[in-house]
Amino acid sequence: MAYLDMSWSDLEDIFLEVPAIPRPRTFKSAGGFINTSTLDPLTFLRWFRFDQEHLKQLKDDLRNPQVMWSAQGVVVPGEEALLMTPRRFASPMRWCDLEPLFGRTTFTMSSVVSQVIGHVNRVFGRLTTHTWLTLDNLNVFSQAVHNRGAPLFNCWGFVDGTALPICRPSVDQSQYFSGHKRTQVVKYQAVMGANGINASHFPLQRRVSRPFPGKRHGAG
């Protein structure tokens, strides 16, 4: 009954929330906050998967436009759009995680990254048609692998996989649990030729890249 001895003012301080001090409104779409010159080389490499000094070369080699327009009408510099793409592909990474870094809304970044991917596909999509994947080349690859000490005479490529963590499913949890990763995952596979090029986009090999339950071994 200690409240009986308190004034109304004291009771209000206890039971009523003190309103927060209003802050000035900030708009994520007002402009990108990313400044590559302030990033140390190691952080840049971890975030974007390539060295900082190669940014201009990569932009020129990909023939990236100077600016890109999002579906919302926001103008984004081509260099910034190029940085958004590998950062978005980092796993796990959501659009909301990129908002503080780039100072852009989720909708703007999603539209811009889609345009970057579309641009690369239009300009270089023909390179995914593996004209080198012929019987003569496969024989050369197989012979090269055998010459390096492999007992097989018909091995021309190598299966590699990656595991992506997922939320714990409601059913079949044990099928998606990876003992190596110690969490539920789905696995994707690809075939890399002896020349170091990924061959999983070849029509006859697309089926190997589908997701598999995490319990399965990467080579299974």
Q: Could you tell me which residues are beta bridge partners of residue 163? A: 187
**pLDDT computed for residue 29 by the predictor:** 46
Amino acid present at 34: I
Query: What is the pLDDT confidence band of residue 143, given thresholds at 50, 70 and 90?
Result: very high
Whether the predicted pLDDT of 140 surpasses 60: yes
Whether the predicted pLDDT of 184 surpasses 60: yes
Ranked by mean pLDDT, the top range of 30-34, 90-94, 154-158, 193-197 is 154-158
**pLDDT computed for residue 62 by the predictor:** 92
**pLDDT computed for residue 17 by the predictor:** 61
**pLDDT computed for residue 163 by the predictor:** 80
Number of Cβ within a 10 Å radius of residue 102: 22
Q: What is the mean pLDDT of the chain?
A: 80
Strands 157-165 and 183-193: antiparallel
Whether the predicted pLDDT of 101 surpasses 90: no
The CA-based angle 108-88-69, given to 5 degrees, is: 30
**pLDDT computed for residue 207 by the predictor:** 43
Task: From residue 141, give the alpha-carbon distance in Å to each of 14, 149, 160, 203.
Answer: 77, 13, 17, 20
Mean pLDDT, residues 98-118: 91
Number of Cβ within a 10 Å radius of residue 185: 20
**pLDDT computed for residue 206 by the predictor:** 45
**pLDDT computed for residue 205 by the predictor:** 41
Among the ranges given (70-74, 144-148, 175-179), the one the predictor scored with the smallest mean pLDDT: 175-179
Rounded to whole angstroms, the Cα distance separating 24 from 110 reads: 26
Share of the chain above pLDDT 90, in %: 20
**pLDDT computed for residue 199 by the predictor:** 75
Among the ranges given (25-34, 83-92, 194-203), the one the predictor scored with the smallest mean pLDDT: 25-34
Q: pLDDT: is 125 or 200 the higher one? A: 125
Whether the predicted pLDDT of 136 surpasses 70: yes
Whether the predicted pLDDT of 31 surpasses 60: no
The CA-based angle 49-110-40, given to 5 degrees, is: 30
Task: From residue 34, give the alpha-carbon distance in Å to each of 98, 159, 179.
Answer: 10, 37, 38
Whether the predicted pLDDT of 159 surpasses 60: yes
Amino acid present at 171: V
Whether the predicted pLDDT of 1 surpasses 80: no
